[in-house]
Amino acid sequence: MQNYRTTSHSVYDLKYHLVWITKYRKNVLYGQVAERLRDLIREICKTKDVEIIKGSVSKDHVHLFVSVPPYLSVSKLMQSLKGKTSYKLLLEYKELSDNFGVATYGVEDTLLLLPAT
């Protein structure tokens, strides 16, 4: 009976190993970006009452081993982690958008309406 967590109506020990990769497995998670990502993950987990048991940020993927309360689904946790960290990192580090953004080049298409003959 070790490390059980409690809520007002339950006692639980739900642990998950979460792994996600960057788009196209690009090596962009290093230096300040990796440190900021780690801080954002800690902040999000703290607000959702998720305990990080172990975690690591590699250049192209993230590993987390977490204890999650029973009222929080894994899909909602991943939605928060991936969505919020991606949004904030792309805002703070503009060079990341060069790796993943979609660029269009060329002249805009114009529609010419010709009278029928």
Amino acid at residue number 95: E
Tally Cβ neighbours within 10 Å of residue 7: 11
CA proximity to 17, closest of 58, 48, 59, 62: 62
Tokens of 42: 């800690």
User: In this prediction, what percent of the chain has a pLDDT beyond 70?
Assistant: 84
Tokens of 115: 């009278």
Higher pLDDT, 10 or 107: 10
pLDDT at 99 (0 to 100): 75
pLDDT tops 70 at residue 101: no
Question: Picking from 1-5, 27-31, 70-74, 75-79, which range would have the lowest pLDDT averaged per residue?
Answer: 1-5
Q: What is the pTM of this model?
A: 0.81
Q: How far apart are CA 19 and CA 46, in angstroms?
A: 19
